[in-house]
Amino acid sequence: MAASTKFPEVQGGGSLILAWQVKNKNVLVVGGGEVAAGRILNVLNADAKVTLVCPASGLNPEVAYRVEQGQVTHIDRVFEPSDLDGADMVMTAIDDPVASTVIWKLCKERKIPANIADVPPECDFYFGSVHRDGPLQIMVSTNGKGPRLAAIIRKHIAKSLPKNAGNAIEAIGQLRQKLRKIAPNPEASPKRMGWMIKVSNAYGWEEICDFTDEDMENLLTYYADNKVPTVDDLQAMLFAMSGRKLGGGRVLGSGKGLAPPTASAVRQRASSPFAPSESTVSITSASTSPPVSSPAPDFAAQDLTSNINLGGPPKSGDNSSKLVCPICEEEMMTLLQLNRHIDDAHQELAEVEQDEVRTWFDKQVNKAKRFQPLSIINQKLRGLEVFESNETLPVSSVAGPRTQVEQPIDPDELITRSRWQRQTMNDRCTDPLCGKNLGAVNGSINCRHCGRLFCEEHTMYQMKLSRAAKHEPVRGYWARVCETCYKSREGYNDHNGLLIDHTSAFTELRRKRVERQNLEVARLEKRLTKLTTLLANPPEEVATNNGALSLSIDVRMCRDCNHTIFSKRDFDAALASKPPDQRAYETLRQFERGIRQIMPIFQRTLLALQPEGSNASGEHPPPTHAQIQEASKIRKRLTDAFTKYDTAARRLRDLKTTSKMQLRLQNAIYAAASAFLHTHMLTLKSVPQILRSRSSQSSQSRLLTLQCSRSSGSWSRR
């Protein structure tokens, strides 16, 4: 295959199209005409800081509006070279070619990228024809050949794009942000990228644009399995959420299995103190029915697994356990069947009917939003319970009469409310980072521990409280509290939990096994000793013919017996006999430790040998003869130690070996030893210089004393 067909050909003559991040960068614009207005708009869209240099009389109306609104900083005069100070980018839009060339040369000297209008040779970058739709930006450039054609091509490209392409990209961006919160580790980056590619390929533009926060949360539940659900699956989950009624009620079908529960699968249990009421609400009815008394109500199917009538008032008989199509009122058995029926039978509806169906779905979603937060619904879809229950499950007996189920304990009736904050019309969530208005939408809940008011989201914590609303982890009742009380309770930040030491138990188990193994070894050794003794000293009746025949006798044994008898001895022998490289390395380390111990002593002796007046006060006493002798001895000891250290390092490097890895190890140890020598031998060179300076100073002092004595003698003769 030819290379021209294997790789793309180089065309040349183009420009490198980049996305230049100029956010919070200083951009200088010279000129205030129509071209400058376009340049200013482009850089303002990129969140740049724009400085405009132009007399006020030459401002375009659009540019004047930008100045009046404070979007740009205006300097009312002509350009000066000092305007380039601190500029990251320069653009000129003036009619004076000479002045433009001067500005371009000044920018070249300061290495500032510049764009000179209508002078392509003096431009470091160009402005193309840009299509903008939210986060989507498409630029078309003809490299200065035909600017008008670039605008026409850009319009053709814009027409071919979906109308909501920007919204789809925005939705994908939000989904990526939510995904990063779930999987923030860098190791999960390949999985995140692969899953986002699957999502982008699985849905169309319209479907991505219609993504709501609920759809994204439901979609993210498939990330752990690296799967992407179909639109039908997401709609089925939305049906499960939209089926929730404000007062609790009946659901046609199971929220988890998307199929109606059988009669045998329904079990009876006591209701939770946080469960909704028993009243049944119909979509078309405006009033709620009173609680229905029943000897064994089914509280296990409440929340998402509760029953809801989607078509209107409940019918008698088995019709109450079926779904009804909101368009043709045809009865269905499951939510999935209803979803497929709507896609198949009502796909080509008129716009008015489609709006009615969409409005019906939106109403169901809004009701689900108002009833419970999405996080709780998602947890229940996964089979997770949000709160612990205070009820005690009864112990069922196989034979015997059926006992009555105990009523659950309501913690709000037992725990005191004396510290509760009173509710007013303008309450806000007291969480420092929230501040939402409290009411029917966000909820208004008192923390059972501190009593302050919070929204629904910031009271999703539980801990055990006593009747006095104090933390009681043993005999307390589960109660709803805020995040602050939950995390500040006693024992929450303890890092030392219950410690149980099983060492003695494991030691006892190990001891029995070791003793059994030692007995086996002793038994085999005893047998081997008897055998070798018998072969070495045979009985007289089996003696050979006067020693005329002598044979070397070997004892054959299996591999397991050989390992059992001699493994421990071989291991001890291997520890006792060290290889040459290990002995050489240990010798090297001994010399290194000795050098490191002597070096601080040698440094202290050098301080006493410093010249006089070397310190700040200039009152350094001269060293004594004993100090100089001590420094010389320590220096000699260090010199001998360095010599032996170098010899040991060379001996280790020159050891014979056939292994390449062993040779690399020896060379690495020698390189480290050489670096150690170069680092610590520098201080030895300063001692001879100090001693020579001391000797010269002492000789000068003796000469001066001799001259003084001679002069005094001559004066005495006179």
pLDDT digit string, tens, across residues 278-335: 333 333 333 333 333 334 444 333 343 344 344 444 444 444 445 778 777 787 766 6
pLDDT tens string 240-258: 555 443 333 333 333 333 3
Q: Is the pTM of this model over 0.85?
A: no
DSSP assignments along 388-456, one per residue = ----------SSSPPPPPPPPP-HHHHS--TTPPPP-TT-B--STT--PBPBTTTB-EE-TTT--EE-S
683 secondary structure, DSSP code: G
Among the residue ranges 19-23, 539-543, 569-573, 592-596, the one predicted with the least confidence is 539-543
Joined tokens for residue 46: 């990129």
Which residues, including other chains, have CB under 8 Å from residue 485's CB and lie 6 or more apart? 447, 449, 450, 461, 463
pLDDT band at 160 (very low <50, low <70, confident <90, very high): confident
Q: Does residue 31 contact residue 54 with C-beta atoms inside 8 Å?
A: yes
* Catalytic annotation present for 362: no
- Dihedral over alpha carbons 11, 12, 15, 21 (to 10 degrees): 80
Residues 6+ apart with CB under 8 A from 225: none
Residue 264 has pLDDT above 70, yes or no: no
Would you list the domain boundaries of the chain? 26-127, 165-220, 231-265+273-288+297-381, 520-528+557-577, 580-611+622-701
**Residue pointed to by tokens 């003809």:** 142
Strands (E) across 246-361 are located at 323-324, 331-332
Catalytic residue among 76, 95, 118, 640: 118
Question: What local confidence, expressed as pLDDT, does residue 295 receive?
Answer: 42
What pLDDT was estimated at residue 239?
60
How far apart (Å, rounded) are the C-alpha atoms in residues 253 and 218? 19
Eight-class DSSP state of 615: S
Q: What angle do CA 322, 324, 328 make, to 5 degrees?
A: 150
The predicted model gives 606-621 an average pLDDT of: 61
Per-residue b or e along 663-686, where b marks 16 or more CB atoms closer than 10 Å to that residue's CB: eeebeebbeebeebeeebeeeeee
Give the pLDDT of residue 266: 38
What b/e readout covers 50-77, taking b as 16+ CB neighbours within 10 angstroms?
Answer: bbbbbeeeebbebbeebbeeeebebeee
- Compute the distance between CA of residue 299 and CA of residue 248 in angstroms, rounded to an integer: 10
Tokens read off for 678: 């170069």
If one counts every other C-beta atom within 10 angstroms of the C-beta of residue 104, the result is 20
Report the distance separating Cα 718 and Cα 708, nearest Å.
16
CATH number, domain 580-611+622-701, options 3.40.190, 3.30.70, 1.10.10, 1.20.58: 1.20.58
Which pairs with CB-CB distance under 8 Å and at least 24 residues apart come from 409-412? 409/273, 409/477, 410/273, 411/273, 411/448, 411/465, 411/477, 411/478, 411/479, 412/273, 412/448, 412/479
pLDDT at 647: 92
Share of the chain above pLDDT 90, in %: 14
Kindly state the average pLDDT of the residues 704-713: 49
Between helices 351-371 and 231-242, what is the axis angle to 10°? 60
DSSP 136: E
Q: Is the pLDDT of residue 489 over 50?
A: yes
pLDDT by residue (tens digit) across 322-355? 577 877 778 776 666 777 777 777 766 555 556 6
Question: What would the pLDDT profile of 588-602 be if each residue is shown by its tens digit?
Answer: 999 999 989 988 888
The DSSP bridge pattern shows strands 129-133 and 323-324 to be unpaired
SS3 assignment, position 244? coil
Give the chain's radius of gyration (CA, Å): 46
Of 32-36, 373-377, 518-522, give the lowest mean pLDDT range: 373-377
- Give, for 587, the enclosing helix (H) or strand (E): helix 580-608
Q: Is the distance from CB of 631 to CB of 609 less than 8 angstroms?
A: yes
Equal CATH topology for 26-127 and 580-611+622-701 = no
Between 684 and 259, whose confidence is greater?
684
User: What's residue 253's pLDDT?
Assistant: 34
Range with the lowest mean pLDDT among 50-54, 260-264, 336-340? 260-264
pLDDT score for 694: 54
Residues present in the chain in total:
718
To the nearest 10°, the Cα dihedral for 532, 536, 537, 542?
100
Q: Which residue has the higher pLDDT, 544 or 524?
A: 524
Q: Is the pLDDT of residue 25 over 50?
A: yes
- Asked if residue 52 lies in contact with residue 78, where contact means CB atoms within 8 angstroms, the answer is no
The mean predicted confidence, pLDDT, of the chain is 74
- CA-CA distances (angstroms) from residue 159 to 131, 135, 154, 156, 204? 11, 17, 9, 5, 18
Assign a CATH topology to domain 26-127: Rossmann fold (3.40.50)
The fraction of the chain above a pLDDT of 70, given in percent, is 68
CA distance 115 to 288: 71
Spatial distance between the Cα atoms of 234 and 164, rounded to a whole number of angstroms: 21
